[in-house]
């Protein structure tokens, strides 16, 4: 039996060689190290056949051109030299494609990312479909890497230095029309005529190298070495302001582009390969790759072993507030499912519908979506003041006020008005699911589905099970969350579930440091430098000080003294300080306020004289260690199923620094023994809340790791 090939060649009667990329046994095409010989043989054939008039690369998989290179190749590299060799192999392969004497065309439909875009850029012409799934980008920075097969050199040549650097530093993906405007593709056509359009280009004269379509200030700056130096400098400043020096790939990307533009492609490619090798060996890239593998693994899981999810055709949403509106939006716009919103007022329904319209209309204005798609999505949303239509829904997602009696009434109402098998998913952030299901006739259908605000942007969803939740309910809810574009983790019922539970000790310690006199902005900057997207005090203002106080009280009641909040909430709430939502919190808000200055009146309210006593590293450690400790408690108690789930939940739910891999990988990095020693020392100095979790003590004694 002959070995299945990833690249098949079909020479048409008109002399065009069509190369179809279809990696056997995979749902998406990815480039593998083992393809080098196969492509080499293909190139020999093309170079040696004078009857071939042009070449077209096209995918045999619907909705996917090439999604990138197989990341396992990098994991298999033991040294920087191994990874550098991998990059040079890719460079050589794509150089051969570029050097073919006949026109070479990439016919792109679907994801064209990383190594896939590097292959497409080595072609002389790029034609792509107007399919919404068609997206082009170089997202290697998200794995702590840079493009290693010529991408750092070809992208700036096609779209300009500024646009090229921006795309590589952010991992930004362009849709078809954006790519056309930027100069990345030459033509956008309907998917049905993609191959015909590509063959037409393949039979034309081989195009000369095009210049990037620059206008205005970009054209002026990129015309001189002085102007380009301004671009390099500004790009580094802006990127590092956000990255806080935690991502070495940033400087290497800018430097590699600079060398290629100023000293020539050969020097640029050499720098690219060496930098790729060096970055592949950094701890940051290692941890980012582990997150990638973990999320890829989770996508294949149902949440309940061996159980298939039930089909979902319609979804009901209870409550038209901010959360309800967001849930209805991701259900209709991302999952493509009709959503029926029930509220007690017409205003609530109008608000929820407007929430979706606003977001869809933005996409239309940015040309990410056609007006017809907006109208079709809006038609899948409907509202009601009673339960009419709920007899047809398969899942009901409840997003009403955090009131136990009200939520129990919602369960009873749905059991009365919906089908016997309809799932009741509650979006509670603090109330135990066991209590919400306590009076249910069909407790097996009750589950928690905890979204994070804003729903359309936050990637995590916690699927919370109580003892009576059926495996099919779990699998179906996980499937729905995935359709909505979420990364779901299944957690056991308990106060705060997982994400809010590990967040609380972190926030409490930050507040204690402020009460001890550490300046507010110093505490926030310390944790941003550590790698969090925002500091804990800023986060408290964003979430709402009143919400923080309510959650803190519930956690203290359910979990004991370890969760005792610092005695500041009462004074803040008595002073009507709720944070950003009423423009009165730890920071100043409102018109005329530039930047993000601290509201210094909060110090006098709390009776504090601010003075910095601790350095940033000490501040970060005092806040982060209780979070790590609580994560270990959650694993010990079975709140989360694995260290992997805890890491995914922390990175996607609260922005735990991805380059540190999540709490459990970070604990492994510190060393469990060293962590236990630190916690015991802090417990003596600062109180029993720092006492290490029994699981950590046991692991330290046995010299075990989480991974």
Do both 158 and 205 map to the same domain?
yes
Catalytic residues: 462
473 neighbors 500 (Cβ within 8 angstroms):
no
pLDDT for the residue numbered 2: 46
pLDDT for the residue numbered 369: 84
pLDDT in tens, 255-297: 999 999 999 999 999 999 999 999 999 999 999 999 999 999 9
> Which residue positions in the chain have pLDDT lower than 50?
1-2
CA distance 425 to 449: 6
Do both 240 and 140 map to the same domain?
yes
Do both 274 and 355 map to the same domain?
no
350 within a domain of the structure (yes/no)? yes
Do both 222 and 270 map to the same domain?
yes
Do both 384 and 238 map to the same domain?
no
Do both 381 and 516 map to the same domain?
no
Domain-ending residue, one of 264, 281, 298? 281
Q: 120-130 burial string, b = 16+ CB within 10 Å, else e?
A: bbbbbbbbbbb
599 neighbors 579 (Cβ within 8 angstroms):
no
pLDDT in tens, 393-405: 999 999 998 889 9
pLDDT for the residue numbered 430: 79
Do both 53 and 188 map to the same domain?
yes
Domain-ending residue, one of 570, 597, 615? 615
Among 575, 501, 581, residue whose Cα is nearest residue 540 = 581
633 within a domain of the structure (yes/no)? no
pLDDT for the residue numbered 3: 60
132 within a domain of the structure (yes/no)? yes
234 within a domain of the structure (yes/no)? yes
Do both 345 and 256 map to the same domain?
no
CA distance 612 to 329: 45
206 within a domain of the structure (yes/no)? yes
Q: What is the CATH number of the domain that holds 584?
A: 1.10.1040.50
Domains contained in the chain, number? 3
635 within a domain of the structure (yes/no)? no
Q: SS in 3 state form for 278-306?
A: HHHCCHHHHHHHHHHHHHHHHHCCCCCCC
Q: What share of the chain is helix, strand, coil (3-state, %, to 5)?
A: 55, 10, 35
Q: How far is CA 619 from CA 95, 512, 658, in A?
A: 50, 11, 20
Do both 274 and 335 map to the same domain?
no
Do both 75 and 174 map to the same domain?
yes
pLDDT for the residue numbered 34: 84
Do both 467 and 522 map to the same domain?
no
Q: What is the CATH number of the domain that holds 357?
A: 3.40.50.720
Domain limits for position 123: 7-281
430 within a domain of the structure (yes/no)? yes
Do both 47 and 89 map to the same domain?
yes
Q: What is the CATH number of the domain that holds 119?
A: 3.90.226.10
Residue identified by tokens 């709140």 is 639
Q: SS in 3 state form for 33-75?
A: CCHHHHHHHHHHHHHCCCCCCEEEEEECECCEEECCECCHHHH
147 neighbors 121 (Cβ within 8 angstroms):
no
For the entire predicted model, the pTM comes to 0.92
Domain-ending residue, one of 581, 615, 649? 615
pLDDT for the residue numbered 591: 83
303 within a domain of the structure (yes/no)? no
């Amino acid at each position: 039996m002959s070995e299945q090939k990833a690249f098949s060649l079909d020479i048409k009667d008109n002399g065009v060689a069509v190369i179809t990329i279809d990696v056997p046994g995979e749902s998406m095409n990815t480039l593998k190290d083992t393809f080098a010989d196969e492509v080499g043989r293909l190139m020999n054939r093309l170079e040696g056949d004078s009857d071939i008039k042009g070449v077209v690369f096209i995918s045999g998989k619907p909705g996917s051109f090439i999604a990138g290179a197989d990341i396992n190749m990098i994991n298999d590299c033991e040294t920087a030299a191994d990874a550098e060799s991998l990059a040079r192999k890719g460079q050589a392969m794509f150089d051969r494609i570029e050097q073919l004497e006949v026109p070479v065309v990439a016919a792109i439909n679907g994801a064209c990312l990383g190594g896939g875009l590097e292959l497409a850029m080595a072609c002389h012409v790029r034609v792509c479909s107007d399919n919404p799934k068609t997206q082009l980008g170089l997202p290697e920075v998200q794995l702590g890497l840079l493009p290693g097969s010529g991408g750092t050199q070809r992208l700036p040549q096609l779209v300009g230095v500024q646009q090229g650097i921006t795309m590589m530093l952010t991992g930004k993906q362009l849709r078809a029309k954006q790519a056309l405007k930027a100069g990345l593709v030459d033509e956008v056509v309907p998917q049905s005529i993609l191959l015909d359009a590509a063959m037409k280009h393949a039979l034309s004269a081989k195009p000369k190298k095009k210049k990037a379509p620059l206008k205005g200030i970009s054209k002026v700056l990129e015309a001189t070495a002085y102007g380009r130096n301004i671009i390099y400098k500004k790009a580094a400043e802006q990127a590092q302001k956000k990255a806080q020096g935690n991502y070495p790939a940033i400087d290497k990307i800018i430097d590699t582009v600079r060398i290629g533009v100023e000293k020539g492609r050969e020097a640029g490619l050499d720098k690219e390969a060496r930098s790729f090798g060096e970055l592949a060996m950094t701890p940051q890239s290692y941890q980012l790759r582990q997150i990638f593998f973990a999320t890829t693994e989770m996508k294949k899981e149902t949440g309940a072993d061996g159980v298939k999810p039930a089909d979902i055709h319609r979804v009901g949403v209870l409550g038209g507030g901010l959360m309800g509106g967001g849930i209805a939006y991701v259900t209709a716009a991302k999952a493509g499912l009709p959503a029926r919103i029930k509220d007690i007022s017409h205003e609530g329904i109008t608000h929820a519908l407007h929430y979706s319209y606003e977001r869809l209309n933005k996409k239309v204005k940015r040309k990410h979506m056609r007006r017809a798609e907006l109208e079709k999505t809006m038609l899948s949303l409907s509202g009601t003041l009673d339960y009419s239509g709920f007899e047809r829904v398969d899942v009901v997602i409840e997003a009403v006020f955090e009131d136990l009696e009200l939520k129990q009434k919602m369960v009873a109402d749905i059991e009365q008005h919906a089908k016997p098998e309809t799932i009741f998913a509650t979006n509670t952030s603090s109330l135990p699911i066991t209590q919400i299901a306590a009076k249910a006739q069909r407790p097996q259908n009750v589950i928690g589905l905890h979204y994070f605000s804003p729903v359309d942007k936050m990637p995590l969803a916690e699927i919370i099970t109580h003892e009576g939740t059926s495996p099919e309910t779990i699998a179906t809810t996980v499937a729905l969350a995935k359709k909505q574009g979420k990364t779901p983790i299944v957690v056991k019922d308990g106060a705060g579930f997982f994400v809010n539970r590990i967040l609380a000790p972190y926030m409490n310690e930050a507040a204690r440091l402020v009460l001890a006199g550490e300046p507010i902005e110093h505490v926030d900057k310390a944790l941003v430098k550590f790698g969090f997207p925002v500091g804990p005090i800023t986060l408290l203002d964003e979430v709402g000080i009143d919400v923080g106080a309510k959650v803190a009280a519930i956690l203290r009641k359910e979990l004991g003294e370890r969760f005792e909040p610092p005695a500041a909430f009462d004074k803040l709430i008595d002073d009507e300080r709720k944070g950003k939502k009423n423009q009165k919190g730890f920071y100043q808000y409102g018109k005329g306020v530039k930047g993000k200055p601290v509201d210094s009146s909060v110090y006098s309210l709390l009776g504090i004289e601010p003075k910095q006593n601790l350095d940033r590293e000490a501040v970060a450690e005092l806040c982060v260690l209780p979070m790590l400790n609580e994560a270990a408690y959650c694993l010990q108690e079975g709140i989360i199923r694995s260290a992997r789930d805890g890491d995914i939940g922390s990175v996607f739910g609260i922005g735990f620094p991805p380059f540190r891999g999540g709490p459990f990988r970070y604990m492994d990095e510190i060393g469990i023994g060293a962590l236990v020693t630190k916690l015991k020392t802090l417990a003596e100095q600062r109180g029993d809340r720092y006492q290490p979790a029994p699981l950590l003590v046991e692991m330290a004694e046995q010299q075990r790791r989480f991974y």
